[in-house]
Amino acid sequence: MNENTKMELLAPAGGPRALKAAIDAGADAVYFGLKELNARRGAENFTQENLVDNIQYVHERKAKAYLTLNIDISQRELGEAARHLELARQCKVDAVLIKDPALLKMIPCYPELEFHFSTQAGISSSAGVMAARDLGIRRVVLARELSLDEIRAASSVEGVDTEVFVQGALCFSVSGRCLLSSWIGGRSGNRGLCASPCRFEWKIGDSGAGRFLSMHDLSLLEKLDDLKQAGVRALKIEGRLKSPDWVSKAVQVYRRAIDSGVDEELRKEVIALGEYTGRKFTDAYLGSCRSGLTGESGRIAKPDEDQAEAIEDNKQSVPEEEGYGIELKSEGGKLACVFTSGGISKKYLYPVSLVGPHGKTVSLAGISEAFSEELIQGQFLSKFTADNPEMLMTRNILKKIREDLSSFLHLAKKKTDDKIKIKLPVDVQQILDLAKTDLVAGPNRKQFNGTLDLVRIRGYGNACEFRRKNPGCGIIADDISAADLRVSDFNWGNPPPVIALPPVFYENDISQLKTLLETCKAKKFTLEVNSWDGWFLAKDAGLKFNAGPGLAILNSMAAGFLHDKGCGSVVISSEADSQQAREMAPKSPVPLILYVYGRPVLMMSRVEFPQEFYGRIFRERRNCSMKLEKEWNLSVFRPDLPFDLRNNTKGNIAVADFAADLSGELKIEDGLPYTDEPKTFNYLRKLR
């Protein structure tokens, strides 16, 4: 970027009011989502009906509009994703932020649109930016964990702009790699429904609970000149779940800082922005800081704060038609609860239980208080009435009302927010039709008979030992160095091992990885790539490679695109439910691998903990437990107990290979014993 080029200021627009607030405050561009298929599905978002007027508002003020389509897309969502793109084209959206490889396949169909890689794509080095360039991406939102030097290296790649976050919440896990919310309750952060369990209190062993995983908030006001010198093209403010008032204030601060520099008044104003969450500010990884980035600060934030983002100051500004209503009244000896939203209403009846003298109770008025600070299905409580506010109920009624309310609002949203209705271009429809077709002689016809085809092992010595005891079993060796391969004289025979590249690596790792690739090429080993950064290195080195769990997918079009880009096989996402897996497998033109056992990485982070934390078990209130270890020079959490689908996949799904991930196992020689009630991740429930 030319040093005289002014950096673009990009603001969040969680809904129409936030969009107007951002533009009026001086944003150069806004980013926003429709009701589905974006990484902030809990926000108000936009509809097909109001999108045109809002984009016109942006363009009339010489600003740009960017649509987010940045989640993992399931097989049955492919048509909806294509209609998002067509709507974006017709509404003259300036760019679309994407993650899923299926959308990369559609880029040639939409020459009018500019495509950007979302931070969810996990681009963490110059190799990833070069991959983006080869894939037709014009801008990359860099991973939020990069140092200034790493940002400089990534921004030096010609032909691709870079964008970085400068203000707002930080995830504990590296960008686009978190499974924790999905593991706990099926709400996937990779599909826009993160429940923010990293904000919960966790216990380490028998110690007291603390918010050990809750990141401080990012603020880079003092670093704007450094970012410009590093070649960054755009500065991004996080906050599609925040209020229009907060967005306006944040944009004003950074607008003035970009135009006129930072002064003492701006420093005070940016500190005031932090009062919204009560968390400390940090410049985090920009200065290569790794420790002291998490924990309590200010007021105690709600566990689901980043889903509900304490909007106390703005609750009264929410129009009634944009929220939901609750009416409580006695009816025939029961409590009648009427929910309303978008002109739709539904009545629920609850038994009135006798309350003992020492029972935990809540008044009907207290129910209003309990819901007044919660964002449920992207809506606020805007109207509440009770015919007897002092009436006491047992406190467990709150959970039941919350569950029924969430279900009602979800269904009401589906009724009022119909799927996008728009005719697709012929070439796009042809691509979709092909992706919907079951392949009679496709590569995914093997059913599980109890025998594993592939086993994933961490450490080269462990991999050799496992093969020695299990000749003929396919091995994927993880966390391997070139030195491991050079000093070993182990005779692998057939099949040779597949050497896995790490799911995340950074600029200083590239040299060592290139040496590993040269060694693999000499030994004729196949690679497994787990990021677009790794894909570029493997392609550039001329090796054979497969796509691993780091590039796992939920639809056959994504699988086909990865195959077109050189991947010999592709992994079905471990987040997938059984219906999603069964829908995509027969349509995939490339061999698919399904992991039926393992302790998947729930979170990986550059955050450094005190040494005594490693090897310990972290537990939260729902009794989820996970162990902290060091892998790939990152802090990695794996679940204490594995998932096991072996009893559930027999005769249930056909793929090319069934695999087990033993990377998190302590005693791999003990085999894989069956348990009576194994955890099945999302396979037997619905992934949301």
155, 143 Cβ separation under 8 angstroms: no
The pLDDT assigned to 573 comes to 98
The pLDDT assigned to 222 comes to 97
Distance between CA atoms of 284 and 516, rounded to whole angstroms?
A: 31
Q: How far is CA 567 from CA 180, 364, 547, 562, in A?
A: 27, 58, 6, 6
**Ordered domains of the chain (ranges, CATH):** 8-170+216-285 (3.20.20.70), 174-214+288-297+601-641 (no CATH), 319-416 (no CATH), 440-599+643-667 (3.20.20.70)
Q: Which among 33, 15, 48, 71 is positioned nearest to 380, based on CA atoms?
A: 15
Compute how many other C-beta atoms are within 10 angstroms of the C-beta atom of residue 48: 18
The pLDDT assigned to 307 comes to 40
The pair of structure tokens assigned to 7 is: 């950096």
Distance between CA atoms of 645 and 390, rounded to whole angstroms?
A: 49
Beta strand segments in 281-374, E: 281-282, 324-331, 334-341, 344-351, 361-363
The pLDDT assigned to 670 comes to 59
Q: How far apart are the first and last CA of the chain?
A: 40
Distance between CA atoms of 238 and 635, rounded to whole angstroms?
A: 24
Q: Where are the alpha helices (DSSP H) in 300-419?
A: 305-308, 364-372, 397-416
Angle between helices 510-523 and 532-541 (to 10 degrees): 50
501, 530 Cβ separation under 8 angstroms: yes
Distance between CA atoms of 373 and 310, rounded to whole angstroms?
A: 7
> What φ, ψ does residue 391 adopt, rounded to 5°?
-60, 135
Per-residue DSSP letters for 474-491? EEEEES--HHHHHH----
Which positions of the chain have pLDDT values less than 50? 297-321
The pair of structure tokens assigned to 142 is: 């860099």
Q: Where are the alpha helices (DSSP H) in 455-567?
A: 460-469, 482-487, 510-523, 532-541, 556-564
Compute how many other C-beta atoms are within 10 angstroms of the C-beta atom of residue 206: 7
Report the chain's mean pLDDT, rounded to a whole number: 91
pTM for the whole thing?
Answer: 0.84
Burial of 529 (0-12, 13-18, 19+ CB in 10 A): buried
Angle between helices 16-25 and 244-260 (to 10 degrees): 20
Distance between CA atoms of 459 and 462, rounded to whole angstroms?
A: 5
13, 250 Cβ separation under 8 angstroms: no
The pLDDT assigned to 393 comes to 84
Burial of 299 (0-12, 13-18, 19+ CB in 10 A): exposed
Non-local CB neighbours of 562 within 8 Å, separated by 6+ positions: 101, 547, 551, 553, 570, 590
Cis peptide before 495 (omega within 30 of 0): yes
* Amino acid (one-letter) located at 688: R
The pLDDT assigned to 321 comes to 43
